[in-house]
Structure 1
Amino acid sequence: MDGILTGTCSWTDPALVSSGWYPRGRRDAEGRLRHYADRFPLVEVDSTYYGMPSARNSRLWAERTPDGFRFDVKAFSLLTGHPTRPAALPADLRPALARHGGTRRTPADPAFLDEVWHRFAAALGPLRDAGRMGAVLFQLPPWAQPGPRTRAFVEECRARTRGWRVAVEFRHPGWWAEGGRADTAALLGGLGMAAVAVDTAAGLPGSLTPDVPVTSPALSVVRFHGRSAAWGTGGKEERFRHDYTEGELREWLPRVRALADRAAEVHVLFNNCCGDAAVRAAGTMAALLGQEPRTAAPTEAPGTAGPRPRSSGAHGNGAAGHTGCDTNSPDRRSAPATSGTGTQEASCPD
């Protein structure tokens, strides 16, 4: 199962940071990423959806992770057809957002989009140059239903990302419904884009099928959103709060292995944001897949080698220090801190 990489959809989730999973001495921005990368080979950067990434952060992320580590990067909200706050953009682009940013019914101005795309791609350059880039994730909104307009949008996304590995997660159930499944697979397959399979609660408004085909020989992606009963209707915190059991994860083993038989690499990512639930689930899944814990060779900042932090169980996710799903935990899906450039604060380059 060498081609299966397991990780979480954030290493900077406030609920994770406050859970105690990061040991003393590794609770600053650099220490957290190094600690995470000692234990997992993959992470998703979700802050790039809420605010434009910066080249400086990309360079730091590459420097703080070992060879072979992968960052899957979530596409900026404006580039996936979602509403975008002016503060999420660099200051010089904010005035243009109201005039040219588009709506659900009207696309953004092409010249404005060109500039946003250019800056987004340039900011990820250091990750690509360092060999740390995994895939760019396009998570389309629930109102992006099957039809010519959305198909054209997906085709445009691919045209702008030639040479990148790209994954697409459809949030409208119609894309993988029986009547449209073959057309969706043909669309993504023809564009060389990986389909994203998801785990959510079944039988709810907006529930999505977990059975998604491999559409790219290079990559398949699975994202575990949790099985909260509030998936289709609840607030942000409630939708993603879930503590996976070993039995629930075992259900996925045949699917993950089948994906690995058809794709060179499979990315398995946990998005259930409550305490340390995501890292524990990722560690359990890796163990079920027979993968060795990544705790043998911790990465140290230059000139700062010191005592190794004690692991909290296999993959750093054992019962010791376990923090369950706190119903009062903060929601990490708020926008990252921004500076005058619209990027994350340079002083906190997570």
Structure 2
Amino acid sequence: MSDVRVGACSWTDRQLVASGWYPRGRRDAEGRLRHYASRLPVVEVDAGYYALPSRRNSELWVDRTPEGFRFDVKAFSLLTGHPTRPAALPADLRGAERGPALLDEVWDRFAYAVEPLREAGRLAAVLFQYPPWFAPGSAAEETLAATARRTTGWPLAVEFRHPGWWAADRAEDTAALLTALGASAVGVDMAQGLPGSLPPVLPVTRPALAVVRFHGRSPAWGSGSKEDRFRYAYDVPELAAWLPRLRRAAGQADELHVLFNNCCADAAVRAAETVRDLLSRPAPRH
């Protein structure tokens, strides 16, 4: 089996900090990350989606984590075609006209900010999560190709929110597309039976890294507040049902990241610890 790393999609979420998972004396910025890295070997920087990351923060994250720790950084919203409030941009760019020049500048600043992680061997993936309206088709494929060109030399990972990408009659073509672009497909676990539900698949499209993100199974997905959409606590049978898929992907990739995005107090880190423990047990023989 490959190197399987299980973690959460944030270590700074307010509900997690308030849950008591961090011990007293380790709830400041440095203490939180050092404690997290002592318990779990990978984390996603979801804050990169909401605001451009800071190079200084990347340098601090390298200093505060051990050799071998991994960061998956979520790409800034403007880079994936999501609506981006002017307040999310750096102050000197908030009055800039939206267009190619602004996009070029944002790309440059994002790359500059995450470079310390890459140089230190801590950057495992840059996650481009595309919006629900990013549907399969020639325009989307051109966008993906442009992203791949922009991220040459980066560990690119792609998550789709439009279910058409992984529909039964399209899944092989989607996997082949991402393989050709050198991108890791991001599998997901989420509530099923909703209009925007994606199937629980875990394709391996880049041998270096496979990724799956567990969003929880809230029926408010796509309709409620952020807290409503992601508030969910997985039980052991739900997680155990994923073990065959995880082990299969781990046999096809050098590294597998299993990340929990269910922000409900300490639900994400607890689920991560449960999956880590389940995977440590011998697989059943058939």
1:267-323, Cα deviation, whole Å (9 max, x unpaired): 0000000000001000000000108xxxxxxxxxxxxxxxxxxxxxxxxxxxxxxxx
CA distance in 1 between partners of 2:17 and 2:202 (Å)? 33
Is the counterpart of residue 272 in structure 1 residue 249 in structure 2? no
Q: Which residue of 1 aligns with 2:199?
A: 209
CA distance in 1 between partners of 2:44 and 2:207 (Å)? 21
Q: Which residue of 1 aligns with 2:183?
A: 193
The residue type equivalent to 1:67 in the other structure is E
Is the counterpart of residue 180 in structure 1 residue 170 in structure 2? yes
Q: 1:81 Cα deviation (Å)?
A: 0.4
Is the counterpart of residue 9 in structure 1 residue 26 in structure 2? no
Q: 1:235 Cα deviation (Å)?
A: 1.9
Q: How high is the TM-score relative to the length of structure 1? A: 0.79
Q: Which runs of no fewer than 5 residues in structure 1 stay unpaired?
A: 101-108, 292-350
Structure 1 counterpart of 2:278, from 282, 285, 288: 288
Summarize the alignment of residues 218-233 of structure 1 with structure 2, pairs less than 5 Å apart. 218-233=208-223
| 1:206 to 1:114, Cα distance in 2 relative to 1, 3 A | same
Summarize the alignment of residues 1-350 of structure 1 with structure 2, pairs less than 5 Å apart. 1-96=1-96, 99-100=97-98, 109-290=99-280
CA distance in 2 between partners of 1:171 and 1:2 (Å)? 27
Q: Which residue of 2 aligns with 1:302?
A: none
Q: 1:13 Cα deviation (Å)?
A: 0.4
CA distance in 2 between partners of 1:78 and 1:239 (Å)? 22
CA distance in 2 between partners of 1:196 and 1:267 (Å)? 10
Q: Which runs of no fewer than 5 residues in structure 2 stay unpaired?
A: 282-286
CA distance in 2 between partners of 1:30 and 1:289 (Å)? 29
CA distance in 1 between partners of 2:224 and 2:194 (Å)? 11
CA distance in 2 between partners of 1:56 and 1:64 (Å)? 12
The residue type equivalent to 1:223 in the other structure is R
Q: 1:237 Cα deviation (Å)?
A: 1.0
Q: 1:222 Cα deviation (Å)?
A: 0.5
SS at match of 1:201: coil
SS at match of 2:187: strand
1:89-143, Cα deviation, whole Å (9 max, x unpaired): 11111111xx32xxxxxxxx22221111001000111111111111000000000
Q: 1:2 Cα deviation (Å)?
A: 4.9
Conserved in 2, the CA contact under 8 Å of 1:207 and 1:232?
no
Conserved in 1, the CA contact under 8 Å of 2:202 and 2:212?
no
SS at match of 2:169: coil
1:34-89, Cα deviation, whole Å (9 max, x unpaired): 00000000000011100001110000000000000000000000001000011111
Conserved in 1, the CA contact under 8 Å of 2:126 and 2:156?
yes
- Percent of aligned positions that are identical: 67
Conserved in 2, the CA contact under 8 Å of 1:176 and 1:212?
no
CA distance in 1 between partners of 2:118 and 2:239 (Å)? 32
Conserved in 1, the CA contact under 8 Å of 2:4 and 2:255?
yes
More RCO (CA 8 Å, sep 6+)? 1
The residue type equivalent to 1:165 in the other structure is P
SS at match of 1:138: strand
CA distance in 2 between partners of 1:149 and 1:128 (Å)? 30
Q: CA RMSD in A?
A: 1.0
Conserved in 2, the CA contact under 8 Å of 1:86 and 1:94?
yes
Q: Which residue of 2 aligns with 1:105?
A: none
Q: Which residue of 2 aligns with 1:106?
A: none
SS at match of 2:92: helix
SS at match of 2:94: helix
CA distance in 1 between partners of 2:202 and 2:213 (Å)? 12
- Structure with larger Rg: 1
